[in-house]
């Protein structure tokens, strides 16, 4: 029968917990004794990975099937040993001369344990240090077969993938919802070798030449003296650099737009950024740009919400991705390509395809779908998979070639190089998560952390000792013999690279008034954090080149005069760049349900929300279960733990909550009659200001009034029938937010 995947997953978890507890059910369920979680006194099987978890496919270091299973890997056995397999009777006490005597240096187990621990961390990535990843599968539609011979793009071929999302600037422990670019890196384990598409959620880059990468990153990272601020661009060095280096204008504008604060990794677009060259079976070549289009649509947080999230739940995006996959609500993206003829000059409609600060509007070159990516399993071990995965733009397969984009050229060097430090030597390709699924017959030998045992005597070519093997493959990877433009050697760039403002203007003009307002607020916020007046003034001059209204509004916010200067180019907007105005699936959206005293009503609504593929979270003054007859309803968020940012919409049940004096009222223990609990008022008020759909029935109006929410405000649904209110709120969620609620002085 067809049931909601989330409901199914919840049942699965309940069953698994029940089984682990020896057949009894989970606490909070009818007639169940709470389980005792006692320390086992004899070995028993470890818990297997949960249903939502999968590790890298077990292949050997040379790509052959290993015969290994997930269960046989790591810490599966009953008895503790040293790293070399000697059994240990005690790991809780150091070896001492007498109970109160000195610890002895000869304690090899103590030394091994502490030494290994001392080296548990590896250097974090110099950029994109904080990330979250998942396993999945890519299924090709076959529609790219006429432009590329890549085997994984042939119709119906399924390719395992591992995808890592990331922020760029923050360190490993920083918060998720910062204003930043997001990485979107995909490893395709194809039958012809690994293909890595190492992209971002923003289709352009700050710089046109890789030699500037250390500059832009040094400017964006925290100040070198005090290491402040963490994981953000709102500081002097960043704005100093981008106001001087105006080729960064386009990317910076995207960062200041809603794209800089995605609602979820599941709701971001991804872009390969550079133009790539595809090669068909007959040798014909085509230029393309890669796009990932999320099935759930492209959605963002609002800035205040993002800031609150970073304190309340710094793991917001990481948790959201893992929870969705665990619940069976698998995120999916369509891979698409924009196709351009491989003309000699590598331009399209006057746009330089080798300039990574430029896009080609979708209205000029539609994105043509070529396959579907579905993420369906969480990693088993964060370090072994998410941390040790090594992406490289030079991991290419026959049918996909790079272009002469100078940004890409530097990247082709950087990724391999950085992994050698980060992963401790040149054999990181042998780590389980990085192993190709294609057979490996390289002649690379030895080195730190070599795990393959290479047979044979002749790792060189030509040889006769190993029968001449491996032979060069006639169908192997060949670089396209594209002619190189003749010219004098020099540190130069083409004239087209000087246009830094026409596309930022196009992006600005493509946004809806609400989105433009958010951009103005973002620039005003960031520049307010800049101490040096000269930098603020200089950046205003840059904004004047994008748009006069943008510049005036930000100048007004900063209390600075509007500089001279105006846009010099006339451009058409690209409506595809706006995120607002369409309707999207609501799968996985989180609805907060402020419980009333009618437990039947809450039970029914909870189920209705689950049936719609969304996630209900029951909110009540205190934890435990809601009092009442029949199946119990567990409270998932107490007033003390609930904060608006966790919910996409909030429903307030009509009758007063149990233990409260009014709807969402004070804890009965406080015994104070009257006003709505201030924590509920705050929650509702924030949700209102963040333009989230709100609903309530019966006495819920008291809560809205206490939170300063006008009864007739857009997207506030009051009624008498909870089911009708839920259905209207669900419709509103399809548009992500109640956009009319933002004040718009620009329309
Ligand atoms: Fe990069 C990591 C994306 C330009 C040098 N980059 C990294 C990651 C992503 C990108 C998603 C994280 C991969 C992961 O999850 O492990 N980078 C981009 C995009 C760029 C770009 C879309 C421009 C179009 N990057 C870029 C340049 C350079 C680098 C120009 C150097 C010249 N990037 C690196 C790196 C990193 C990296 C230093 C750090 C960690 C790593 O590679 O594995 O090599």
Return all residues near 479 (Cβ < 8 A) that are at least 6 apart: 401
Residue of 411, 422, 433 with the most ligand 1 atoms within 8 Å of its CB, for mutation: 411
In DSSP terms, which residues pair with 292 in a beta bridge? 270, 335
CA of 356 to the centre of ligand 1 (A): 14
CATH superfamily, domain 502-577, is: Catalase, four-helical domain (1.20.1370.20)
Which H/E stretch holds residue 697?
A: strand 694-697
pLDDT digits 0-9 by tens, 289-305: 999 999 999 999 999 99
- Average of pLDDT values for 699-705? 88
CA of 125 to the centre of ligand 1 (A): 9
Using the predicted structure, report yes or no on whether residue 157 has a pLDDT greater than 50: yes
Q: Which of 327-336, 697-706, 711-720, 737-746 has the lowest mean pLDDT?
A: 737-746
Return all residues near 267 (Cβ < 8 A) that are at least 6 apart: 294, 296, 297, 298, 299
Q: Which of 19-23, 227-231, 419-423, 566-570 has the lowest mean pLDDT?
A: 19-23
CA of 508 to the centre of ligand 1 (A): 26
Of 341, 184, 206, 231, nearest in space to 278 by CA = 341
Known binding residue 415? Answer is: yes
Phi, psi of 674 (to 5 degrees): 105, -115
Residue of 123, 128, 194, 424 with the most ligand 1 atoms within 8 Å of its CB, for mutation: 128
Residue of 125, 268, 291, 317 with the most ligand 1 atoms within 8 Å of its CB, for mutation: 125
Of 261, 372, 266, nearest in space to 590 by CA = 266
Residue whose CA is closest, atom 9 of ligand 1?
183
Please give the pLDDT value at position 47: 74
Fold (CATH) for 590-741: Rossmann fold (3.40.50)
Phi, psi of 615 (to 5 degrees): -115, 115
Are the C-beta atoms of residues 256 and 522 closer than 8 Å to each other? yes
Are the C-beta atoms of residues 236 and 535 closer than 8 Å to each other? yes
Q: Is 4 a catalytic residue?
A: no
Known binding residue 422? Answer is: yes
- Number of Cβ within 10 Å of residue 189's Cβ equals 24
Pocket of ligand 1 (CB under 6 A): 125-128, 131, 164, 166, 183, 185, 198-200, 205, 210, 213, 273, 356, 389-391, 407, 410-411, 414-415, 418-419
Please give the pLDDT value at position 16: 61
- Which atom of ligand 1 has the smallest separation from the CA of 389? 16
In DSSP terms, which residues pair with 87 in a beta bridge? 81
Domain boundaries, the chain: 1-48, 131-270+292-332+372-434, 502-577, 590-741
Q: How far apart are CA 448 and CA 446, in angstroms?
A: 7
CA of 397 to the centre of ligand 1 (A): 19
Residue of 131, 391, 421 with the most ligand 1 atoms within 8 Å of its CB, for mutation: 391
Residue identified by tokens 């009257």 is 674
CA of 159 to the centre of ligand 1 (A): 23
CA of 160 to the centre of ligand 1 (A): 22
- pLDDT band with cut points at 50, 70 and 90 for residue 60: confident
Among the listed residues 93, 108, 119, 128, the single catalytic one is 128
Known binding residue 73? Answer is: no
* Correct CATH for 131-270+292-332+372-434 of 2.40.180.10, 1.10.1270.20, 3.30.70.920, 3.40.50.2300: 2.40.180.10
Q: How far apart are CA 244 and CA 738, in angstroms?
A: 38
- Which atom of ligand 1 has the smallest separation from the CA of 184? 11
- Which atom of ligand 1 has the smallest separation from the CA of 274? 24
CA angle (303, 130, 189) in 5-degree steps = 120
pLDDT digits 0-9 by tens, 436-474: 999 999 999 999 999 999 999 999 999 999 999 999 999
Please give the pLDDT value at position 3: 55
Among the listed residues 4, 135, 200, 395, the single catalytic one is 200
- Which atom of ligand 1 has the smallest separation from the CA of 128? 12
Residue whose CA is closest, atom 28 of ligand 1?
411
| 10 vs 664 pLDDT, higher one | 10
Residue 25, Ramachandran bin (φ over 0: left; ψ between -120 and 50: alpha; else beta): beta
Please give the pLDDT value at position 25: 45
- What tokens does 346 get? 């590598």
pLDDT digits 0-9 by tens, 570-629: 999 999 999 999 999 998 899 999 998 889 999 999 999 999 989 999 999 999 999 888
Q: Is 463 a catalytic residue?
A: no
Q: What is the pTM of this model?
A: 0.92
DSSP string for 620-646: ESSSSB--SSSS--B--EETTT--GGG
Known binding residue 213? Answer is: yes
Please give the pLDDT value at position 300: 97
Please give the pLDDT value at position 37: 66
Are the C-beta atoms of residues 333 and 621 closer than 8 Å to each other? no
Using the predicted structure, report yes or no on whether residue 22 has a pLDDT greater than 50: yes
Q: Which of 119-133, 225-239, 273-287, 706-720 has the lowest mean pLDDT?
A: 706-720
Residue whose CA is closest, atom 44 of ligand 1?
415
CA of 659 to the centre of ligand 1 (A): 53
- Which atom of ligand 1 has the smallest separation from the CA of 415? 44
| 77 vs 565 pLDDT, higher one | 565
């Amino acid at each position: 029968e067809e049931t909601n995947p989330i409901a199914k997953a919840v049942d699965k978890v309940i069953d698994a917990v029940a089984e682990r507890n020896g057949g009894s059910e989970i606490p909070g369920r009818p007639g169940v004794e709470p389980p005792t979680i006692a320390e086992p006194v004899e070995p028993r099987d470890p818990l297997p990975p949960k249903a939502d978890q999968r590790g890298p496919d077990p292949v050997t270091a040379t790509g052959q099937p290993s015969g290994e299973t997930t269960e046989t890997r790591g810490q599966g056995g009953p008895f503790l040993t040293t790293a070399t397999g000697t059994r240990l009777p005690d790991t809780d006490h150091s070896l001492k001369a007498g109970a109160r005597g000195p610890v002895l240096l000869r304690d090899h187990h103590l030394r091994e344990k502490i030494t290994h621990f001392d080296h548990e961390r590896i250097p974090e990535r110099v950029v994109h240090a904080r990330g979250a990843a998942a396993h999945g599968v890519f299924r090709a539609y076959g529609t790219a077969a006429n432009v590329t011979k890549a085997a994984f793009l042939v119709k119906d071929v399924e390719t395992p993938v591992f995808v890592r999302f990331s922020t760029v600037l923050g360190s490993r422990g920083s918060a998720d919802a910062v204003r930043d670019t997001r990485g979107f890196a995909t490893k395709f384990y194809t039958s012809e070798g690994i293909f890595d598409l190492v992209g971002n959620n923003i289709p352009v880059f700050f710089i046109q030449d890789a030699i500037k990468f250390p500059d832009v990153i040094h400017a964006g990272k925290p100040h070198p003296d005090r290491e402040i601020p963490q994981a953000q661009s709102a500081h002097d060095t960043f704005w100093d650099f981008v106001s001087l280096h105006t080729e960064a204008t386009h990317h910076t504008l995207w960062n200041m737009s809603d794209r800089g604060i995605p609602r979820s990794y599941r709701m971001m677009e991804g872009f390969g950024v550079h133009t790539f060259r595809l090669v068909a079976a007959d040798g014909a070549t085509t230029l393309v740009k890669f796009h990932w289009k999320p099935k759930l649509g492209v959605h963002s947080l609002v800035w205040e919400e993002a800031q609150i999230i970073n304190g309340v739940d710094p793991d917001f995006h990481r948790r959201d991705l893992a929870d969705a996959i665990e619940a069976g609500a698998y995120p999916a993206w369509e891979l698409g390509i924009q196709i351009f003829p491989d003309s000699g000059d590598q331009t399209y409609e006057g746009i330089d395809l080798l300039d990574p600060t430029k896009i080609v509007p979708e209205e000029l070159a539609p994105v043509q779908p070529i396959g579907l990516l579905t993420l369906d399993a969480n990693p088993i071990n964060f370090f072994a998979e998410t941390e040790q995965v090594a992406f490289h733009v030079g991991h290419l397969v026959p049918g996909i070639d790079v272009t002469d984009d100078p940004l890409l050229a530097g990247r082709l060097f950087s990724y391999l190089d950085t992994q050698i430090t980060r992963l401790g030597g040149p054999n990181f390709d042998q780590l389980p998560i990085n192993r190709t699924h294609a057979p490996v017959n390289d002649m690379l030998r030895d080195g730190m952390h070599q795990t393959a045992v290479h047979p044979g005597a002749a790792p060189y070519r030509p040889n006769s000792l190993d029968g001449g093997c491996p032979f060069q493959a006639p169908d192997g990877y060949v670089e396209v013999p594209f002619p190189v433009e003749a010219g004098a050697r020099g540190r130069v760039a083409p004239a087209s690279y000087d246009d830094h403002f026409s596309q930022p203007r196009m992006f600005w003009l493509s946004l809806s008034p609400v989105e433009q307002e958010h951009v103005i607020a973002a620039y005003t916020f960031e520049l307010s954090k800049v101490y040096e007046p000269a930098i603020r003034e200089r950046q205003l001059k840059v904004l004047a080149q994008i748009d006069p209204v943008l510049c005036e509004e930000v100048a007004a916010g900063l209390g600075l005069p509007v500089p001279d200067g105006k846009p010099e180019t006339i451009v058409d907007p690209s409506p595809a760049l706006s995120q607002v105005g369409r309707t999207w699936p609501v799968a996985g959206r989180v609805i907060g349900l402020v419980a009333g005293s009618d437990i039947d009503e809450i039970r029914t609504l909870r189920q209705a929300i689950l049936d719609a593929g969304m996630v209900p979270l029951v909110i009540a003054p205190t934890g435990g279960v809601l009092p009442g007859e029949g199946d119990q309803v567990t409270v998932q968020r107490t007033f003390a733990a609930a904060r608006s940012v966790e919910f996409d919409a909030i429903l307030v049940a009509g009758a007063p909550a149990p233990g409260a004096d009014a709807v969402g009222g004070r804890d009965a223990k406080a015994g104070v009659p009257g006003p709505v609990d201030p924590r509920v008022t705050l929650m509702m008020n924030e949700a209102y200001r963040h333009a989230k759909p709100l609903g309530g029935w019966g006495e819920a109006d008291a809560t809205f009034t206490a939170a300063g929410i006008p009864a007739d405000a857009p997207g506030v649904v009051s009624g008498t029938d909870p089911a009708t209110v839920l259905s209207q709120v669900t419709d509103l969620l399809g548009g992500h937010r109640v956009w009319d609620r933002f004040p718009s002085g620009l329309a």
